Structure 1
Amino acid sequence: MATSLDIWKLLAGLGIFLFGMLLIEESVKALSGRTFRRIIRTYTNGRLRAIGSGALVTALLQSSSAVSLMVLAFVGAGVMNMPNAIGVIMGSNIGTTLTAWIIATIGFKIKIESLALPFIGIGAAGLILFKPGMKPALVTRLSIGFGFLFLGLDFMKVSVESFAQTFSLAGFQHYGLWVYLLVGTFFTALMQASAATIAIVLTALNSGLITFEIGAVIVIGANIGTTITVLLGAIGGTPAKKRVSLSHLVFNLVTGAVAFAGLPFMISVIEFFVDIGTSSLTGLALFHSLFNLAGVVLFFPFLGAFATGLTRVFPDHKTILTVYLNQTPTEVTDAAIAALRKEIGHLLQECQLYNLRLLHIDEKLVFDTDLPFEASRRRKYTLEELYENIKLLHADIFTFYSNIQSQKLNSTEAKELERLMYASRNMMNAIKNFKGVRHNMDEFDGSDNPYLNTQYKLFRKRIVELYLTMGRLLQMDDKEEQYRGLLAAFGHIEAADSGFIRSTMDAVAQKKIQEMDIASLVLVNRLFTQSCRMQIYGMKDLLLTHEQVAHFDRAVDKTDASTREGKPVPADPGE
């Protein structure tokens, strides 16, 4: 009989086990992901409910890391407060103990192979019968996941059984238990899966390779090591995300320290319920649940103070994105409206910057200097960061507008404010259109179809020409020149749209593009053209007088009607 540890079989078993866990997590999230997110978001308006929701979702999803990352997202979005977020984190620690109970009560009580193979076989048949993405296909993936889970467990069990018969812990007795604590922490942090570490511990305990005491200490270490996923998820995140990750680390560290310090007492409590000599696996699963539950009881009375302390460690540093609103009192309505007009002009430029970067256009072609968002920064924002800042700026503008509305306004001021908010909303709608076609634009740029490449270049040319025109109009002082310039710019947008349609029809006739490309190209042009129009509409409400706005709208209506009827458009329809 071989007495060496079959390390490759152990590693293969671990890999199969982890792959099974991944399949289970992905399948359950795909089947009920929205439900889980709704539970985490909705049923956490109380500390006990937060703990219960965290435990339930983690038990079903079989991934405390996934639940913790959901919490990071909701806290970062401002839809969950810190005490409730900490409650969900604590509950997830209880829910994750279900893995140990499944392995302890089922994994080694029956012939594992007879349980694993039917799961895999039925699941594989389902993959053949059902189309990917359908619910039955997801159920079959879930079945395969459970099969791999148990098959990996069987590999690990077999790999250590013969080795355990000749292995003795006598040579390791001089090492302190803290070494095993570090082992559990290190391996869990490395694999980012406490379930895998606990499966290995239960396998070793089942084979007599380790004692119950050592197994309990490694499980404590696994609880600490599992915090690495959330810590990594919070790197570079908002202060709120950092608070959540720190709460997870502190909770698990303190809980682990208490369990390690009181290990003899906790083992005696376990022995009161379970004979660890004959039912060591059940005892270890109970220990895993018990010390996590003890941590919840320990922290629960201090959740509010704990959340306050975390806020002091990572306070919110609100970045001031506004340029003109911050120092302007809304009580002085004339000054407030003037500041709001300038701030919306700033919003327009930041939106233009986003659109230029989305199309990989050098912003220096349009802007001579850095815009306010990045004027004092050492690095440029990513597209995602820039988009989030633009949304926050729009929110600040709307808040300022609401505060002005609370003042006594005459009818002229009220109409002016209304038009300014039209301008702001049009700019935001324009940038949303651009964001929606980002993927398509990248496809056109990287396509091997020359026609798509050409259209991508034309889109870039159209936007640069428009922004140069808009920049000149913003510098003008003469309202009449601005009016005529905006009408001309709108006419150029319509002409470019018509030219695109003619060109694409010719390309279709000459079979230069495929059907799928036609659909994507037409959709992108429609959204691109709408975005250009909305930016002109925004400038119209930002720059023109009330009377000029009315003339502009009538001129645009005539332009649309003439275009539909095929009639020539007057050179200056507003006159």
Structure 2
Amino acid sequence: MTTTLTLLDLCGAVALLLWGIHMVQTGVQRALGPQLRRLLGVALGNRVKALAAGLGVTALLQSSTATGLMVASFAGAGLLAVVPALAAMLGANVGTTLIVQILSFDVARAAPVLVLVGVILFRRGSEPRTRDLGRAAIGLGLMLMALARLMEVITPYEDVPALRILLGAVATDRIIAFLIGAVLTWAAHSSVASVLLVMSFTQTGVLPLEAGLALVLGANLGSALNPVIEGARDGEAAGRRVALGNLITRTLGCAVALPCLGLIGPALVTLQPDLSRAVADFHTAFNLALAVLFLPLLTPFAALLRRLVPERIDAHDPGQPIHLDEAALETPPVALGAASREALRMADVLAEMVGGAGEALTGGDRGRVAQIRRMDDTLDRLNAAIKAYLVRLDPEALSEADERRVAALVAFTTNLEHAGDILSRNVMTHAAKRLKRGLAFSAEGEAEVGALLARLTANLSAAGAAFLTEDPRAARRLADEKAVFRDLEARATEEHFRRLRAASAAGGPVPAEAAALYPDLMRDLKRVNDHLVAGAAYPILESRGALRASRLEAP
């Protein structure tokens, strides 16, 4: 019974450590995420600046995975070459060791102060950023408490035979220790947690130093596995190159360092008798050495990665999302950027549908009708994939700005999907009826339909730009198009009936079906435009208080 309770105590301390790390990461991301992303983007001009930016951003986020996702998103968008991206990852690997360095000192007494300050900031802060920084302080305090509790749990049981037997294989075989460290870090998604645990076991004498160093090497390799595994499924070539390059550098470093641990261990003890500090120093020195060795070699290394990971040239299902990176869900700003890129793909599909609708309405191509209906299925699938992706975001990791962006994304994609439904079900029904029954618009009518479709295409481009930039001026110009379209529909319908009356007065035929089809078509095209305005312009204007609740005059 005592062993079971001790095991539960140990697992609880580890869980508290992982939760503290999660709170630090999410708190800093919510408070400083956009600024850090902007800093990273500006500093990625050359490899030295990129390395420094990766180090600084990761030191604050305490997640090389989060930094890697930002870098991969820049590379995937074509904004960043492979060389500075790899340099940023080398810096990120060094940056993630800094919190380990801090916690290797005896700072456990600061835990209550950090939690107290964090709670005050979280409960009393009037600004979202203040509350988020309070959340990060609470997380750091919980990490310190968890480490202190680990030491308390481990120390009385360091001589228990069962524990010695369990760790015997780890202590005697550095390969086993290395593999265990890699698997544990891969499962926990945190090299910080793994290294801190190794420091605790080594400090209490449960593990010899050499075994602890082997576990640290495994933790470095394990933290590079997840981006490669997840990127192999659906990542873009540029992002997969960065992830694979990071894995290769760490693998080569581990291959060199692992056989030398018998020499490294005694040298470390001579320089640093404190075993916990020795583990932390080795972790930092290993990543610093990789950065120094590989930074001058990144140009040929990038060329090798381009050969290993070529661009995909196979035909792609248009309804299959290509930007919704599963790994990005841990970093909301990156995930929202990925979802936004997928939403713009929906806008591109809708633009093709509008262009095809013009050919179906004024030409004689029956295949266009079926093609546009298939493209509506593509819109439906992309819309469903984006919503399912957004639902998987952790609500606690979202800032207020992130939540507004989620709402804007849902509004944009939903309205694009509805606009596609109108084109597929209504407008294409008119086109199919016209082709089947041999109906024709007048020359003036065809010109009016063409002008309305051209304006609709321009408004679709404006909607995509407004959605992407969130510029209130672009949103207001797009919103003005709703009134313009209303006037164009009314004028076109009036002109249509004027032509019908003139034909009737002249004694000519007045086909009832054509007379009914034209105003219905005008109304449906106006409804498509209404969805563009509602999806792109209204969320921006509403967030700035620039929308009235009703068009009705006050009584």
| TM-score category (smaller protein) | 0.5 to 0.7
* Residue of 242, 251, 258 corresponding to 1:260: 258
Map 1:310-389 → 2, pairs under 5 A: 310-318=305-313, 350-351=352-353, 367-369=369-371, 382-383=381-382
**1:556 aligned to 488, 506, 515, which one?**
488
Q: 1:482 to 1:241 in 2, by over 3 A?
A: farther
Question: What TM-score comes out, normalization by structure 2 length?
Answer: 0.63
CA shift for structure 1 position 270: 2.6
Change (3 A) 1:199 1:365: farther
User: Taking structure 1 as reference, are residues 21 and 473 closer, same or farther at Cα in structure 2, changes over 3 Å only?
Assistant: farther
C-alpha contact 2:114 2:138 (8 A) present in aligned 1: yes
CA distance in 2, matches of 1:267, 1:101: 18
Gaps of 5+ in 2: 317-347, 358-365, 387-407, 454-474, 503-555
> Which structure 1 segments of 5+ residues have no match?
322-345, 356-363, 388-433, 446-455, 493-523, 537-554
- For 2:110, the aligned partner's letter is L
Following superposition, the deviation at residue 40 of structure 1 comes to 1.8
Which residue does the alignment assign to 2:425? 464
Cα distance change of structure 1 residues 282 and 76 upon mapping to structure 2, 3 Å threshold = same
- Indicate the residue corresponding to 1:141 in structure 2: 135
Q: What is the aligned counterpart of 1:295 among 290, 294, 306?
A: 290
Residues in 2 aligned to 1:474 and 1:92: alpha-carbon distance in whole angstroms: 61
Structure 1 position 162 matched with structure 2 position 162: no
Query: How much has 1:319 moved relative to structure 2?
Result: 6.7
Larger radius of gyration: 1
After superposition, the C-alpha distances for 1:354-389 in whole angstroms (9 at most, x for unaligned) are 99xxxxxxxx998425889999xxx999527999xx
Residue 136 and residue 528 in structure 1: after superposition, are their counterparts in 2 closer, same or farther (change >3 A)? closer
Does the 8 A contact of 2:16 with 2:146 survive in 1? yes
- Deviation at 1:242? 1.5
Please identify, of 86-95 and 230-239, the stretch whose mean Cα deviation from structure 2 is larger. 230-239
1:213 to 202, 210, 213: 210
Are 1:100 and 2:100 counterparts? yes
Name the structure 2 match of 1:391: none
Whether 1:115 aligns to 2:113 is no
Deviation for aligned residue 1:557: 9.5
Give the deviation of 1:155 after TM superposition.
Answer: 2.4
Partners of 1:366 and 1:468 within 8 A in 2:
no
Relative distance call for 1:317 and 1:139 in structure 2 (3 A) is closer
CA contact (8 A) 1:17 1:149 kept: yes
The amino acid that maps onto 2:168 is F
Report the CA distance shift for 1:21/1:81 in structure 2 as closer, same or farther (over 3 A).
same
CA deviation after TM superposition for structure 1 residue 239, in Å: 1.4
Distance 2:240 2:352 in 1: 28
Aligned to 2:35: 35
Residue aligning to 2:146? 152
The aligned amino acid for 2:118 is G
Inter-partner Cα distance in structure 1 for 2:24 and 2:383: 31
Alignment partner, residue 497 of structure 2? 571
User: What SS class does the counterpart of residue 205 from structure 2 fall into?
Assistant: coil
Q: Distance in 2 between matches of 1:23 and 1:351?
A: 45
Q: Which amino acid aligns with 1:222?
A: A
Measure the CA separation in 1 of the matches of 2:120 and 2:349: 56
Counterpart AA for 1:251: T
Go from structure 1 to structure 2 and tell me whether the alpha carbon gap of 1:267 and 1:558 turns closer, same or farther (over 3 Å shift). same
Distance 1:435 1:298, change over 3 A: closer
> In 1, are the aligned partners of 2:101 and 2:277 still within 8 Å (CA)?
yes
Which AA in structure 1 matches 2:31? L
Contact conserved, 1:157 with 1:203, CA < 8 A, in 2? yes
Tell me the distance in 2 between the aligned counterparts of 1:440 and 1:63. Answer: 34
Compared CA separation, residues 68 and 354, structure 1 to 2 (3 A):
farther
C-alpha separation in 1, matches of 2:72 and 2:225: 13
Q: Does 1:481 align with 2:475?
A: no
1:436 and 1:380 map into 2 onto residues whose CA distance is 14
Alignment of 1:226 with 2:220, yes or no, is: no
**1: CA distance, partners of 2:234 / 2:98:** 32
2:234 partner SS:
coil
Identical pairs, percent: 22
CA contact (8 A) 1:3 1:162 kept: no
Cα distance in structure 2, aligned partners of 1:532 and 1:436: 24
Q: 1:530 to 1:85 in 2, by over 3 A?
A: same
Q: Determine the C-alpha separation between the residues in 2 that align with 1:147 and 1:202.
A: 18
Aligned position for 1:47 = 47
Counterpart of 1:65? 65
In 1, the alpha carbon distance for the partners of 2:123 and 2:349 equals 53
Tell me the distance in 1 between the aligned counterparts of 2:43 and 2:50: 7
1:57 shift after superposition: 1.1
Distance change (3 Å), C-alpha of 1:488 and 1:34: closer
Change (3 A) 1:295 1:127: closer
Structure 2 vs 1, CA of residues 250 and 371 (structure 1 numbering), >3 Å: closer, same or farther? farther
Over the aligned positions, Cα root-mean-square deviation in angstroms equals: 4.7
**Cα pair distance change 1:316/1:532, threshold 3 Å:** farther
Give, in angstroms, the shift of residue 255 of structure 1.
1.1
Aligned to 2:183: 186
**Alpha-carbon offset, residue 486 of structure 1:** 6.0
1:466 partner letter = V
